[in-house]
Amino acid sequence: MHMFRPCRSISGRHNHNAMKLKPLLLLMLVLAVALRAGECFAASFVIEDDKGRKIHVEQPYQRIISLYGAHTENLFHLGLGPEIIGVSINDRFPPQAQDKQRFSFHDDAEKFVAARPDLVLIRPMIDNGYPALVRQLERYQIAVVSLQPANAAAMFEYWRTLGRLTGRMDAADRMVADFQKKTKQIQAYLPPVSHRKKVYFEAIHTRMKTFTPGSMAIYALESAGGINVAADARASRNTNIANYSKEKILAKAHEIDVFLAQKGIMNPVSIDQILNEPGFHVLKPIKNDQVFLIDENIVSRPVPRLLEGIMTIGKLLYPDIFTIIEKDL
């Protein structure tokens, strides 16, 4: 911690010069404090969120409620703490999130207003499903911003947008640079395309759904050197989830090397459930004991932990190669 010693008094003919210097010294002190706080905030600007809402940002938001786990995780990663005054009822990561007040899009607007937020971060699903809540919050002059990137390229811009909203642009740039650097390092170790494993990546077992090409999960898979055998899957209801019938899966029974399934709230599946699925006994990965589960939180969200998802998938596909990568990263 820097201590500022009081200036000695200046008398006589030096007094006039001292008076001139005081405003300059004060300005320098203010700038020094701002720099130590982390980021300098640029002039006001306008951002457009994923619902076309235009938000005029005059200064960094200081009292933020996040209603989406990815927002929460990214805000903490940007170095925010006291500025986050509330999180979604399901947020568990990082551990600091568990100390924050819980909010839900099912709550009355009065609960939000009582917390005195200046920003509520949501995602389009909330915009579409709970427009009355959004309107009420805006009526109380609370900024509402709806964000959710659809792919990895948009993820980087999304991180930068969060940085701009919170005055943490430098931290956001570092997040992007670090993530891109590490994924590039991983690419250098991967086997040639002709030697890569073909993977079916399950999203929801009971409905035989997979992920759309370009989704976070498929980005993680391909970044780990896997080839998506369901590249022909098409989005269901404009989401990153795609219908993929059992017939299509069985048609590729001898082509699939690895059967990978996300596990979590969206897909509470077990390996036994997959192994015992009628008809699946003909799948090559069933026969070769190549069925794996992976935590949905590290493959389906636009957060830095997606790198953990890439590494986890890589260890399942190419354990020898990723043991080396892990040591070098």
Domains of the chain: 45-179 (3.40.50.1980), 193-328 (3.40.50.1980)
Q: What is the pLDDT of residue 44?
A: 87
Q: For residue 192, say if its preceding peptide bond is cis, omega within 30 degrees of 0.
A: no
Q: What is the pLDDT of residue 66?
A: 98
Convert the pLDDT of each residue in 116-171 to its tens digit.
999 999 999 999 999 999 999 999 999 999 999 988 889 999 999 999 999 999 99
Q: How far apart are CA 87 and CA 66, in angstroms?
A: 5
Q: What is the pLDDT of residue 19?
A: 45
Residue environment code for 228-241, b if the CB has 16+ CB neighbours within 10 A, otherwise e: bbbeebebbeeebb
Convert the pLDDT of each residue in 182-201 to its tens digit.
999 999 999 999 999 999 99
Q: How many helices, marked H, and strands, marked E, lie in the chain?
A: 13, 14
Q: How far apart are CA 149 and CA 160, in angstroms?
A: 12
Taking each helix axis as running N to C, give the angle between helix 306-317 and helix 216-223, from 0 to 180 degrees, rounded to the nearest 10: 50
Q: Is the pLDDT of residue 226 over 50?
A: yes
Mean pLDDT of 203-230: 96
Q: What is the pLDDT of residue 28?
A: 57
Q: How far apart are CA 327 and CA 315, in angstroms?
A: 13
Q: How far apart are CA 103 and CA 87, in angstroms?
A: 6
Mean pLDDT of 101-112: 97
Q: What is the pLDDT of residue 3?
A: 31
Mean pLDDT of 287-310: 97
Return phi, psi of residue 21, to 5°: -75, -25
**DSSP assignment letter at 229:** T
Q: Please say whether the beta carbons of 65 and 97 come within 8 A.
A: no
Q: What is the pLDDT of residue 4?
A: 28
Element holding 22 (H helix, E strand):
helix 15-37
Taking each helix axis as running N to C, give the angle between helix 216-223 and helix 152-166, from 0 to 180 degrees, rounded to the nearest 10: 110
Token readout for 132 is 């009355």
Q: How many CB atoms lie within 10 A of CB 254?
A: 10
Q: How far apart are CA 76 and CA 159, in angstroms?
A: 12
Measured over the CA atoms of residue 126, residue 149, residue 310 and residue 70, the dihedral's sign is negative
Q: Is the pLDDT of residue 35 over 60?
A: no
Q: Please say whether the beta carbons of 274 and 280 come within 8 A.
A: yes
Nearest by Cα to 122 from 142, 139, 105: 105
Convert the pLDDT of each residue in 47-83 to its tens digit.
999 999 999 999 999 999 999 999 999 999 999 999 9
Convert the pLDDT of each residue in 230-289 to its tens digit.
999 988 777 889 999 999 999 999 999 999 999 999 999 999 999 999 999 999 999 999
Q: What is the pLDDT of residue 295?
A: 96
